[in-house]
Amino acid sequence: MKQSAALAVQLAEAARIVAQVAAGQSLAEAMDRTREDSRGALIDLTHGTLRRYGRVQAIVAQLSRRGRPDALVEALLWTALYALESGRYSEHTAVDEAVKACGLIEQWPAKGYVNGLLRSFLRQRGALEVQLANESEARYQHPLWWIDLLRRAYPTDWESALNAGNTHPPMALRVNRRHLDPEAYLARLAAENIAAHRRGAEGVVIEHPLPVDRLPGFAAGDVSVQDLGAQRAAHCLDLQSGQRVLDACAAPGGKTAHMLELADVAMTALDVDSARVARIGATLERLGLRAETLHGDALQPQQWWNGRPFDRILADVPCTASGIARRRPDIKWLRRANDMARFADQQRNLLTALWRQLSPGGKLLYATCSIFPEENEAVVAAFVASEKTARQLPLPDGARAQWLPDAEHDGFYYALIQKQA
């Protein structure tokens, strides 16, 4: 177990971040203000706490005898409970450091309360587990509306999807076939004593995630970090050399790069966020690839499009990101059930706008990192029904359209639509 004199400082900072998320701010925005040298420990404490948010909320509510505490103290208790259950610290250390953290967040009168609640948790853990098993949000660690929606959509798989959403995400790599074969890269990893295994055409899964600067050949562009589910996109577009291709919501450029690694196409990478467009350029430069990168809104083609149609379009549209909630664990607590209707409207509008830029006979791949049918099958079915020239095709990789998150990949949805001549 890890003994850390700095744990009190880390708990205090994590509590401030988690309290901001509980108040409605995104985790990414809250983390942006942290020091680089403390980010590793803070990522563990904040992400771990938010993955268990339903559980730690319920435990504090069960054990607090004086009603709901101050928001910052409550967030400190949540992070301390995660630290206790993580197994990284001794129970004595976690409790004592949480008490010290009260002073660091200027909540000195709360020391006795924090100490008492955490020690009550340790004494009553068995009885609490019985109670929590009957509370859906505490048991599955997702909002109730999210649980109910998945139960209806996936009667046999909903529990496994929820459980996967509470785990640490896998680390998958995409080998750049312009540089080397995946089997050759596996051999390089083995030589560095990095355990990994092959998945898919270019995929490699690292069994114990590590920083990218420890990956052989990363700086040279031999490999990129990309989830196996995201790697499906390039293979589902039926790319051929010489085609004009648009990646309509391209940042940070992973799918753009994968397409260029597989085929010699004329690529246009578009994104509405100017800062994220710069990230596309950096990604392509590291990999030794070239594309036209544009800052523009796919809904406003008159601002950036030259009128020449595209043979292939990847529409990786904005969505609830429900399929990648374990990577962005604040998502499931910041989202609301009515967000899906807003996203579905935007998705339909994007499909309509991009359809005008697709050449007759061309193909558009609709993609989301969502597992909610309302953003996926429902949007595609409505579009195909309303657009006479649209025909949905089987996916070229032969796999099902919807992937739910599991131990090796996140949740993604794909639909291939052809424009009839």
CATH number assigned to the domain comprising residue 88: 1.10.940.10
Q: Computed over its alpha carbons, how large is the radius of gyration of the chain? A: 23
Shared domain check, 83 and 40: yes
Domain that holds residue 82: 7-141
The residues, ordered by sequence, that sit 6+ positions from 332 with a Cβ below 8 Å of its Cβ are 53, 142, 143, 146, 165, 322, 325
**1 part of a folded domain:** no
Shared domain check, 236 and 177: no
**290 part of a folded domain:** yes
Active-site residue set: 369
Given 92, 126, 141, the domain boundary residue is 141
Query: Model's pTM, two decimal places?
Result: 0.93
**381 part of a folded domain:** yes
Whole-number pLDDT of residue 31: 87
**282 part of a folded domain:** yes
**2 part of a folded domain:** no
Whole-number pLDDT of residue 240: 96
Compute the distance between CA of residue 94 and CA of residue 3 in angstroms, rounded to an integer: 9
Shared domain check, 346 and 203: no
Residue with tokens 């750049």: 176
Shared domain check, 326 and 352: yes
Q: What is the 3-state secondary structure (H, E, C) of the chain?
A: CCCCCCHHHHHHHHHHHHHHHHCCCCHHHHHCCCCHHHHHHHHHHHHHHHHCHHHHHHHHHHHCCCCCCCHHHHHHHHHHHHHHHHCCCCHHHHHHHHHHHHHHCCCHHHHHHHHHHHHHHHHHHHHHHHHHCCCHHHHHCCCHHHHHHHHHHCCCCHHHHHHHCCCCCCEEEEECCCCCCHHHHHHHHHHCCCCEEEECCCEEEECCCCCHHHCCCCCCCCEEECCCCCCHHHHHCCCCCCCEEEECCCCCCHHHHHHHHHCCCEEEEEECCHHHHHHHHHHHHHHCCCCEEEECCCCCHHHCCCCCCEEEEEEECCCCCHHHCCCCCCHHHHCCCCHHHHHHHHHHHHHHHHHCCEEEEEEEEEEECCCCHHHCHHHHHHHHHHCCCEEEECCCCCCCCEECCCCCCCCEEEEEEEECC
Q: How many domains does the chain divide into?
A: 3
Shared domain check, 407 and 295: yes
Given 193, 208, 226, the domain boundary residue is 226
Shared domain check, 189 and 135: no
Shared domain check, 28 and 54: yes
**306 part of a folded domain:** yes
**123 part of a folded domain:** yes
**76 part of a folded domain:** yes
Shared domain check, 206 and 133: no
Shared domain check, 402 and 275: yes
Tokens of 158: 């909903």
CATH number at residue 332: 3.40.50.150
pLDDT in 10s for each residue of the chain, 421 residues: 444 558 999 999 999 999 999 999 999 888 887 766 667 779 999 999 999 999 999 999 999 987 889 999 999 999 999 999 999 999 999 999 999 999 999 999 999 999 999 999 999 999 999 999 999 999 999 999 999 999 999 999 999 999 999 999 999 999 999 999 999 999 999 999 999 999 999 999 999 999 999 999 999 999 999 999 999 999 999 999 999 999 999 999 999 999 999 999 999 999 999 999 999 999 999 999 999 999 999 999 999 999 999 999 999 999 999 999 999 999 999 999 999 999 999 999 999 999 999 999 999 999 999 999 999 999 999 999 999 999 999 999 999 999 999 999 999 999 999 999 8
The values of phi and psi at residue 199, to 5°, are -145, 130
Shared domain check, 328 and 193: no
The residues, ordered by sequence, that sit 6+ positions from 385 with a Cβ below 8 Å of its Cβ are none
CATH number at residue 205: 3.30.70.1170
Shared domain check, 39 and 127: yes
Contact 105, 16 (CB under 8 A): yes
Shared domain check, 179 and 131: no
